[in-house]
Structure 1
Amino acid sequence: MRTTRLRFPACLATLSVVFSAQGVESGPQISPPNWWANMGASTLQLMVHAPDIAGSTVSVGDSTFKIDKVSSLDSKNYLFIDVDTSDLMPGDYALTFSKQGKQLYSALYTIEKRAHNSANRQGFNQKDTIYLVTPDRFANGDPSNDSVSGLQDKANRSAPGGRHGGDIQGLIDQLDYISSTGFTQIWSMPLLENAMDDHSYHGYAITDFYEIDPRYGTNSQYRQFSHQAGDEGVGIIMDMVLNHIGSNHPWMEDMPAKNWINHDGQFSPTTHRRESLHDPHGVQADQQAFSDGWFVPSMPDLNQRNPYLANYLIQNAIWWVEYANLSGIRVDTYSYSDKAFLSDWTARLTSEYPNLNIVGEEWTTNPVITAYWQAGSYRADNYASSLPSVMDFPLQDTLVNALKDKETWGTGLVSLYNLLAGDFIYGDPYNLVIFGDNHDMSRIYTQLEESYPLWDMAMTFLLTSRGIPQVYYGTEILMANPDSDDHGIIRSDFPGGWQGDKVNAFTQKGLSDEQRQAYNRIKSLLALRKDHPVVATGKFTHFAPADGIYVYFRTNDAGEGAMVILNKNNEVASVALSRFEPVLKRFSTAVGWQDKQSLSVKNAKVDVAPQSATVWLLQ
């Protein structure tokens, strides 16, 4: 059995362990490592891990620390304590663990004072633009932690799948770049410990749910990052993994319960047939083959039907929101977890934090399946979901094809129009996260065959359409992955993030003219969203594309508006505005966002440059 790791978290060492005189070498590891007074739910379940602790009795020196139940499962090294926190005040509480009248362990458990108005924190929303970062590949702020003793996967910047050294300090160092560009949220791929033998940089094979990987930094440094980002007006979205763990997680050598891992802890691959969850003609066996199967042997699939594991994952999410002052959560491989658990998980999180935004990854191009998970959507099976947002993969796929395909009656821009016309299936289409690419697919510049005009149209659309836009790091400087779909290449190092880099995108040193043009375009669009919020939050109204021209509007009740014209043609197009009178009748003048050209919207025509996206502010 792996030696129990005695943890003194960087969260100000909230858990202190006192050894007994019986000669026990390892003290108890308690999860969550601390909690807070006055949380919405008055229940807390502690997982205690220590040699031979199962079957212990637990006593507390303070009567306000009310223990409802103490449980042992299959492992002799785990104990679960259900606590009624309704009367708990901030402070340290002494826990004593005994067997047959003999004290085995004692520990102090800390209940902290909750931050003011924490429950009402505002999550990310339509006003925001999310910057997605692969932290290992963004900026190396602290070279001293590139390789860490005791962790097998060492720094090797020359290997696409190796660790390159990017870290939390690098993110802190570049907060000014991110905020000055105009991004208002940062979603980082997972930063938790991944004690895997190789390819640990991506972060999705977690081996400790409560500890930042030391090659990235510490818990306290992550909290510092969140606080400093907040000072810059930037929120932090944490990437959470509920479906699986890394095969080097201590649970794989000592499971708290026999059914902790699906398929008895033995690899059995998922079918990836997410359709089985929604099939009215389907069978349960197909559903379980999807949900209970593993991605790969190195990612054991968690069984969230076990109520103790479900509680562990729910409390872990709440703990990080509270500890690191998060503005949102992105949930990896959302639909692969147990459906009933997902219902409970989202209900508990949104009950604790009514305004927190949570976006689930459901990688399908079928909008019916995407919509199923969002709160407020119609579901034939009456499934209860409190998930506020979903990644809009259908829009990503359609946008690329709409820009690349030939303009015909049924292809090209009309496919984008057709998809958006189906938004009625969503509980809230304006709260979907929209994007051109992410860390698991070719970069948008590559997908669009490195055509700058098509890239410009795609980014303009994403930053002026309905939904919450997400931009992958490097998109603003046209990072690409030509001739390779290797994830390590897609997630290449951001130039300038390492000492000695010949190109520095943070200062624009060494960038090509086209890269500078792209950066300035993104920065200008983000400034447009900030200076004219109607572009980001207004009602979306569009007209069916015709002759390679697609026109849509963002308007609000305050009399503000914006008109966006996409011209896919290879020549200048003259667009008569009379067709758009149902929207334009509220306005008298259109002013070009960039050229400041002003014209009357009555019976006017607008000349639009070839292969371009233009924005007009309406007055």
Structure 2
Amino acid sequence: MLDRFADGNDATPLLTDADKGNAWRTEESRQEWQDAGAEWVGGTLNGLRGKLGYLSGLGVTAVWISPILKQRPNTDTYHGYATQDFLEIDPHFGSAEDLKQLVAEAHAAGIRVILDVVLNHAGDVFAYEEQDVHWDGRTHTVAGFRDAEGRPTLPFGPVDAGVSQDAAVWPAELQRAGSFTAKGPIRDWDRDPEYREGDFEGLKDITLGGGPTDGYRPSGALRALTSVYKYWIAYADLDGFRVDTVKHMDPGAARYFTSAIHEFAQSIGKENFYLIAEITGSREFAYRTLEEVGMDAALGIADVQDQMEWLVKGFRDPQEYFGLFRDSLQVGKDSHTWFRNRVVTAFDDHDQVRKGRDKARFAADDLGKKLGVAAIALNATTLGIPCLYYGSEQGLDGHGANDRYLREAMFGGAFGAFRSRGVHCFDTSNPTYRQVSRILSLRRRMPALRRGRQYLRQISGDGVHFGFPQLFDGSMRSVVAWSRLFAETEVLAAINTDPESARTAWVTVDFDLHEAGSKLTCLFSTDPASEGLEVPVEARNGKAVEVTVPAGGFVVYG
């Protein structure tokens, strides 16, 4: 979330424990802090560029940037999803040259840049004549495009030459008749065609075309936006797009955009330009949509985030999470390794649609504070493309009944993390940051942790009775172990969902890859003193080894 990441001010002091809550010491200051979260707070492209060393040290290999194109002036759409001019960078974030320089320096640091883009809608660029309009299947009468002051005084059509770029919508092709569906805001987010034709509250739905997926007829608006995004690829040397709200687009429109962008990127030498589709809804719907539209990966599959969070906190059966990656035949794939680079996995995100109004980062409760490393380890070393939401590596703990509370400013300012102001959180000595850096370094060195087949392993306390870890009386404090098998090698990983005590368990390993009496070596532990220790393979439940996992910790054996 670019507005909330870094502002480039290196003089801001580092947050200490004493600073936490410094913005909540009076009711007045608390209200000021909460109000500040609804407004622009100052993160920029140059601020992000100044933190590439921080990201590289963490082990990040790609950065997904929230939308940066120009928002309607005099509004607080700091999130970037309410574009008024698709041809310009919003001045709050910087300039087009700043974007180009950021990408160049990121590439020099070995970091790819994925830009969040919007096709489905523009910002609140026009007003309806009716006061309480909503989607009911009808096209509603529009009062006019908004002028530079936000009033609907302009004709709802091509504007005159010389009209401010802060008015109406740009490029000019979006001003043509029929560019917007004009059917009012969505009320039922799961009813078709309402969720494809309706506005996102004040964000106005763009007409993308019509017809079946095969033979779809793209609108002039879709063709214009596709050309705009081709321009940004070529201009800034971008590496991929995260495409917003694909669920709300006609599949044919998403497929047209996918084909056009892939072909263009290949024509300028970008063979692996990645398109990541945000698809809310069930896993089956998301995978089916992904295959239909042809994008490279899916993001926003609620059950992945939900299962991951609550598994680590000990309130979800691990078989449910690992089972998400075992039914590849249902999506027409012959191996569950298909999920390796087709699904973006995470446990924190910037809006948490799955939680409704009860929004909270993973670290918002006591368990989350103690199990953050285990959550990131599970995310980084199981199937999928692991995505780390900014601040999780510092244990940011935002929570509340609004998206803003998940979007704290890491750089401080008026809406700083941990209910603070005026102090930054880029602490490279933070224990979570340091452990994550070590985990991601291990992941880079071990292909099995990135590419291997994946199996949840049975465990035992006595070495005789084995079974998968499961809930007892609604919770689970246990070792959870899994194997990644790649090129005739096995890497065994495990977390401990008990945040207070180390846990020891016998863990099943592959029968054919290990001889009884051979040994596995601890390659990683959140307690580094255990690294290098060897454990013998014994003939238990086929073959098994006995491992100890630190409290709330993570280990890897190979």
Counterpart AA for 2:76? H
Counterpart AA for 1:343? R
Distance 1:329 1:555 in 2: 31
> Are 1:430 and 2:350 matched, yes or no?
no
Q: Secondary structure at the match of 1:200?
A: coil
Greater displacement, 608-617 / 231-240: 608-617
Counterpart AA for 1:398? Q
Q: Secondary structure at the match of 2:206?
A: coil
Greater displacement, 569-578 / 286-295: 569-578
**Maintained 8 Å contact 1:196/1:247:** no
Aligned residue number for residue 331 of structure 1: 243
Distance 2:287 2:515 in 1: 33
Counterpart AA for 1:139? A
**Maintained 8 Å contact 1:574/1:605:** no
Aligned residue number for residue 204 of structure 1: 81
Alpha carbons of structure 1 residues 566 and 587: separation in structure 2 relative to 1, 3 Å: farther
Measure how far apart 1:531 and its partner are. 2.5
Pick the structure with greater CA Rg.
Answer: 1
Measure how far apart 1:560 and its partner are. 4.3
1:516-546 deviation digits (Å, cap 9, x = unpaired):
2211121111111122233122232333623
Distance 2:379 2:409 in 1: 24
Distance 2:311 2:99 in 1: 40
Q: Secondary structure at the match of 1:228?
A: helix
**Maintained 8 Å contact 1:304/1:310:** yes
Q: Secondary structure at the match of 1:176?
A: helix
> Are 1:295 and 2:200 matched, yes or no?
yes
Aligned residue number for residue 546 of structure 1: 469
Measure how far apart 1:574 and its partner are. 3.6
User: Which of 219, 239, 257 is equivalent to 1:345?
Assistant: 257
Distance 1:373 1:470 in 2: 21
More helix as a share of residues: 2
Counterpart AA for 2:323? N
Counterpart AA for 1:238? L
Alpha carbons of structure 1 residues 422 and 584: separation in structure 2 relative to 1, 3 Å: farther
How many pairs does the alignment contain?
438
Q: Secondary structure at the match of 1:421?
A: coil
**Maintained 8 Å contact 1:270/1:295:** no
Question: 1:392-403 alignment to 2 at 5 Å?
Answer: 392-403=301-312
Name the structure, 1 or 2, with higher relative contact order (CA <8 Å, separation 6+): 2
1:435-457 deviation digits (Å, cap 9, x = unpaired):
11111124542466543343232
1:385-418 deviation digits (Å, cap 9, x = unpaired):
2111001432111112323454xxxx52232233
* TM superposition score normalised by structure 1: 0.65
Greater displacement, 333-342 / 588-597: 588-597
Aligned residue number for residue 135 of structure 1: 2
1:156-200 deviation digits (Å, cap 9, x = unpaired):
996111111111110111111111211111111111100243322
Question: 1:130-209 alignment to 2 at 5 Å?
Answer: 134-141=1-8, 159-209=36-86
> Are 1:494 and 2:410 matched, yes or no?
yes
1:233-277 deviation digits (Å, cap 9, x = unpaired):
1110010001100123796643543211013xx52425211xxxx
Distance 1:599 1:588 in 2: 8
> Are 1:311 and 2:230 matched, yes or no?
no
Structure 2 unaligned runs (5+)?
11-31, 127-143, 147-155, 159-174, 210-217, 353-358, 459-467, 471-477
**Maintained 8 Å contact 2:371/2:553:** no
Counterpart AA for 1:206? T
Structure 1 unaligned runs (5+)?
1-133, 144-154, 274-285, 376-383
Distance 1:231 1:204 in 2: 29
Aligned residue number for residue 388 of structure 2: 471
Distance 1:182 1:586 in 2: 36
User: Which of 308, 313, 317 is equivalent to 1:412?
Assistant: 317
Measure how far apart 1:562 and its partner are. 1.7
Aligned residue number for residue 279 of structure 1: none
User: Which of 370, 390, 395 is equivalent to 2:298?
Assistant: 390
Measure how far apart 1:556 and its partner are. 1.9
Counterpart AA for 2:534? S
Alpha carbons of structure 1 residues 251 and 319: separation in structure 2 relative to 1, 3 Å: farther
Aligned residue number for residue 233 of structure 1: 110
Aligned residue number for residue 455 of structure 1: 372
Distance 1:194 1:269 in 2: 21
Question: Percent same amino acid at aligned positions?
Answer: 21
RMSD (Å) for aligned C-alpha atoms: 3.0
Distance 2:91 2:490 in 1: 48
Distance 1:582 1:452 in 2: 39
Distance 2:261 2:387 in 1: 23
